[in-house]
Amino acid sequence: MRGTTPLPDGSLPGLWEHISTARWFAGKGRGGRLIAAGLFDAVDPDAPCPVHHGLARVRHDDGGQDVYQLLLSRRHGPDGPPGICPAPGGGRLCDAAEDPAALADWARALLDDTTEGSAPGAGWLVEHLVAAPSPVRAAHRLSGEQSNTTVVAECDGDQAVMIKVFRRLEPGENLDITTCAALNRVGIDAVPTVHAAVHADVDIPGFRDGPTDLAMATGRFPDAKDGWRLICSLAAEGRDVSTEMTELGAALGSVHAAMADSFGTGVLDGERIAGRMTRELDDAVALAPALAPSRDGLAAIFDRLRGRSLPTHRVHGDFHLGQTLSTPAGWRIIDFEGEPLRPAAERRSLDSPWRDVAGMTRSLSYASSEAPGPAEAGRREWLERARTAFLAGYGHRDDAVLLAYEANKAVYETVYETLNRPGWVGIPLGAITAMCSGAAALLPDTAERKDR
């Protein structure tokens, strides 16, 4: 792994335990082992506890391979988090995401735009786009994330920078960086401002050699409320969210229009999309057998796309309430990487905007499980109002295409919940049953949820 210092074989068991049990590890259910790992030069080698970006090469039992990014602090003595494995040259390597003192020094060095790039031979570099607030006073990991790790760097006043560390790496540019930076340039304020990006040359067998994005630093929206928590709390109180959903639909519509202008448009053959969704369904049944009874009904929904042409442009790709923030200035949309289990080439391709619309209507189905009783009637009424308002704010609809993308999303959710949160799997399965039976409202299952 060019540009990195290899870690000895004796370090691999501890690193594998760290990687395979992390929430951001995407290989659950596939088996595998860590076959190599290496560290880039420290971001700030003079820091008391230097932080290293690193690479870990995982080979799965099915023959596939993934490359994960490590973020490790080097420590000596009793202070700080426990060690994951011995550090080359002495001391121990720790999970830097759980090492606030080390994170603060790391964030301070990354955001310092007085020098561009990194030392020769370091293997990585920082690109500064928009000046960031300073100085960094403290840093901590943001809890609750799934696919990546975000560090909050607190600056003077109430300003902060969010540094997202990409965990499962993919060759080439990261969609979150390129999309947000492009929308910044055309004045769209509904997405984060990109202050800096970290790139590296990755040379690993089976992984395309060349620049790869490791991290991005964006501004924090002031007084922001997590969209998922906000809407769920309002649902639990039985409050109507039509106004909020109309505004969110309009925000998505403006972002979609800007993405179409910035990245171009195209057309997809409905025959091809139906075939892809059906293949994904059959793959999903193997991972989540509970889908099997609904397989033919779902395939029939996808078949309604055949013979149609679908307009396309770049989309968010993984749009749901958890990717939104409610601020005093309006709704903000974050995390433009797309669904983490989809191949990078597919996520970078132009897609139907109905993928994003369906992502939100499915998210509302989850949120409606918070609506008070009496059971089905209360949740159904809340969901119908919220869903109708969101679609009205977005501005137009195509019910047959929307239903196909909702079904495709529910299949993805079923696999995700089966592998990660089995106590939640009843929600997408209940919606799938309703879709296949032709129910107008996509009511979530009332099954007890665990691991919330």
- Complete DSSP assignment for 296-352: HHHHHHHHTTTT-EEEEE---SS-SGGGEEEETTEEEE---S--TTS-HHHHHS-B-
Query: Quick one: which of 312, 321, 316, 26 has its CA closest to 178?
Result: 316
Report d(CA 247, CA 191) in Å as an integer. 15
Report residue 132 as tokens: 């960031």
Task: Confirm if 346 and 210 have CB atoms less than 8 A apart.
Answer: no
The 8 Å CB, 24+ separation contacts for 223-227 are: 223/327, 223/328, 224/325, 224/326, 224/327, 224/332, 225/325, 225/326, 225/327, 226/322, 226/325, 226/326, 227/321, 227/322, 227/323, 227/324, 227/325, 227/326, 227/331
Q: Please give the Cα distance from 164 to 141 (Å, whole number).
A: 10
Q: How confident is the model at residue 446 (pLDDT cuts 50, 70, 90)?
A: very low
Model pLDDT for residues 115-150, shown as the tens digit of each residue: 655 554 567 889 999 999 989 999 999 987 778 999
- What's the pLDDT score for residue 390? 97
- Confidence at residue 441, expressed as pLDDT on a 0 to 100 scale: 40
Distance set, CA 37 to CA 14, 28, 72 (Å): 11, 19, 12
Token pair 């995407």: residue: 26
Closest CA to 433 of 302, 304, 297, 301: 297
Q: Which residue has the higher pLDDT, 444 or 179?
A: 179
Tell me what pLDDT residue 209 has: 62
Task: Write the DSSP assignment of 134-167 as a string of letters.
Answer: ----EEEEPTT-SSSEEEEEE-STT-EEEEEEPS
pTM (two decimals): 0.84
pLDDT level of residue 206 (50, 70, 90 thresholds): low
Per-residue pLDDT reduced to its tens digit, 336-377: 998 877 788 888 899 999 999 999 999 999 998 877 665 567
Closest among 249, 394, 416 to 333, alpha carbons compared? 249
Of 81, 127, 136, 133, the C-alpha closest to 106 is 136
Burial class (CB in 10 A: 0-12, 13-18, 19+), 55: buried
What's the Cα-to-Cα distance from 361 to each of 276, 355, 387, rounded to whole Å?
A: 21, 10, 6
Structure tokens at 364: 């509302």
**Rounded to whole angstroms, how far apart are CA atoms 35 and 19?**
12
pLDDT at 451 over 70: no
Residues linked to residue 150 through DSSP beta bridges, in sequence order? 164
Please report which confidence band the pLDDT of residue 76 belongs to, taking 50, 70 and 90 as the band edges: very high
The span from the CA of 384 to the CA of 362, in Å, is 12
Give dist(CA 421, CA 53) in Å, integer.
Answer: 29
The pLDDT assigned to 231 comes to 97
- Of 137-151, 230-244, 280-294, the least confident: 137-151
Whole-number percent of the chain with pLDDT over 90: 75
pLDDT, tens only, 254-286: 999 999 999 999 999 999 999 999 999 999 999
Query: What angle, rounded to 10 degrees, do the helices at 399-420 and 295-303 form?
Result: 150
> Using CB atoms within 10 A of its CB, is residue 351 exposed (0-12), middle (13-18) or buried (19+)?
buried
Task: List pLDDT tens digits, range 168-198.
Answer: 998 888 999 999 999 999 999 999 999 999 9
pLDDT tens, residue by residue, 376-422: 677 888 999 999 999 999 997 788 999 999 999 999 999 989 998 89
Distance CA 43, CA 215 (A): 13
Q: Residue 154: which region, alpha, beta or left (left: phi > 0; alpha: psi -120 to 50)?
A: beta
CB atoms closer than 10 angstroms to residue 130: 14
What pLDDT shows up at residue 127? 92
Average pLDDT on 95-101 reads 97
User: How far is 101 from 107, CA to CA, in rounded Å?
Assistant: 10
Residue whose pair of structure tokens reads 């009904």 in the numeric block: 297
Q: What is the pLDDT of residue 355?
A: 94
